[in-house]
Amino acid sequence: MKVNDKEKDMNKDFIIGSIKKMFNENMIEFFVLKNNLKGSKYQMWWATFFEGTGLTEEGSKLFQQMIENILESPEISEIATREEVISYLQSTLTELIKIKKEDRLKFIIKEGNSIVKKLISLRENVELIFPILNLELKVRSLRLGNVNIFHFSNYQLQKQLKYRKQLMNNNPYFIEKPSEIKDLMKQYKELLIKEYHNKVCAKIDFNKSPKKNYEDSIQEIQTALACLKLFSDHIHVRNSCQFGLEGSIVKMGALECLIKLKNGSSWKTYGGLIGYINKFTIDHDFIKNANSKGLMILKSILVKNKKNEIEKRILNSIFWYAKSYDVSLAKYQKNQNDKKKDDRLNILTHEIGEKFLKLIICLESLLLFKDFKEDKKEYLKQRGSFILLCTKKDEEKIQRIIDKSYIIRNDIVHQGYVNVNYRQLIELDYLVKKMITNLIKNYKKWNINTNTDLYKWFEKKRLSAI
């Protein structure tokens, strides 16, 4: 059920009616978990300690409809996650089922009318700090939108320790337990030194629900880091300069194996290096060069609360470029069998295909439109050369590269067949990056704010070239 266009809030009457129906038609039941795991008979059920609440199939459908209806409200979806809405509804239903039948209607109406208030009350005004792996910062700090990248120095360490100690000193529980405060502070200091101290970190402020704060902060930091990756001059053979949040890249280490000779003569171990080799360095020269290529404009886009369609398109393409950038590559070596062939990657895995494919997705997200039926390869060739503002001579070369790249893309997607040489990867990477930065630097000058504007701009170029 959708909310009326004029009504920004969720439909409270629908929520109240759904809960009433759920109880009136016995779609919900309380049970004790130990009773032969009775919860397994329900389409949906949840439990607290030994008590469970179960929903029939019809009740489960109503439950899902209520979730969608609540999330229809921008006021709520901006603050809380789906999981938090589900948790709230579950606890509400469990509470209602324990109320006497004759009193239940009054409580259902009360709960239905207070949903917005209760979910909005989840707001926490917080500062979040995440360590960034394998990033070296040779400037004091760097701000990208709402994200501040900085060194977690000794000053930062002492600041965090002072804050934590003050919280415990103000807590009545610790009034007569100074030794416990001392032990906890020691543990906390050890944790901060291990995970944060002398590392480059990203800091951001949010004022949403706990889960929303965490999830949205990760998204914004990933976007900010993606913008930096766009201006890298590295192609990152063997992960030489990968950087990012924990879990987004492969850490430096060794892939160990144990080898036992079957004749019983000996055993040995062997290990190959994996992960990054060199740190990605941000210094004044990098920032100056990146600003000249569009980073300054990206900063102004990132800080906007409401971005237009083209700005969202640009950031989406940068996201996919960064995803390609983050893919680790196998060892680079010459093809010894055929001296005439280009240097190739020794493909121990299909990682080069993944990297190449994500560059093509990046290209498609930048140049194609879902609302129009198009010959993708032909339009990618045309629009790629248009957005690069190239000469006729360069246009032919660029279109050849994109044509070949799309054939390779089809081989990977439709057959799982990877046949990419290193030169092709470099060429595509360069072109994609150049197209993104050209659009960043020129979209305002070209008066392009919507997808329709961009489509018309491409069509005007195409018709003038006929």
The pLDDT tens digits of the residues spanning 393-437 come to 889 999 999 999 999 999 999 988 888 888 899 899 999 999 999
- Neighbouring CB atoms inside 10 A of 296's CB total 13
**Which comes out higher in pLDDT, residue 237 or 181?**
181
How far apart are alpha carbons 226 and 360 in whole angstroms? Answer: 17
The answer to whether residue 274 scores a pLDDT higher than 90 is: no
Mean pLDDT across the stretch 200-209?
97
Mean pLDDT lowest for which of 152-156, 336-340, 386-390?
336-340
Mean pLDDT across the stretch 231-259?
78
Structure token digits, residue 429: 């990477």
> Is residue 437 classed exposed, middle or buried when 0-12, 13-18 and 19+ CB atoms within 10 A define those classes?
buried
DSSP 3-state assignment of 254?
Answer: strand
Is pTM beyond 0.95 here?
Answer: no
DSSP H stretches of helix in 196-239 = 210-230
Q: How confident is the model at residue 36 (pLDDT cuts 50, 70, 90)?
A: low
> Is residue 107 classed exposed, middle or buried when 0-12, 13-18 and 19+ CB atoms within 10 A define those classes?
middle
Q: How confident is the model at residue 9 (pLDDT cuts 50, 70, 90)?
A: low
Structure token digits, residue 162: 């002072």
How far apart are alpha carbons 354 and 122 in whole angstroms? Answer: 40
Looking up tokens 């949903």 gives 115
Q: Nearest Cα to 366, choosing from 289, 460, 286, 457?
A: 457
Q: How confident is the model at residue 159 (pLDDT cuts 50, 70, 90)?
A: very high
pLDDT at 341: 47
pLDDT at 351: 81
Helix (H) or strand (E) holding 29: strand 28-32
Can you list the pairs that 84-93 forms with residues at least 24 positions away whose Cβ atoms lie under 8 Å?
A: 84/119, 84/122, 84/209, 84/210, 84/211, 84/212, 85/119, 88/115, 88/118, 88/119, 89/63, 90/46, 90/53, 93/19, 93/22, 93/28, 93/53
Structure token digits, residue 283: 């210094």
Query: What's the chain's average pLDDT?
Result: 88
Mean pLDDT across the stretch 238-253?
80
How far apart are alpha carbons 81 and 87 in whole angstroms? Answer: 10
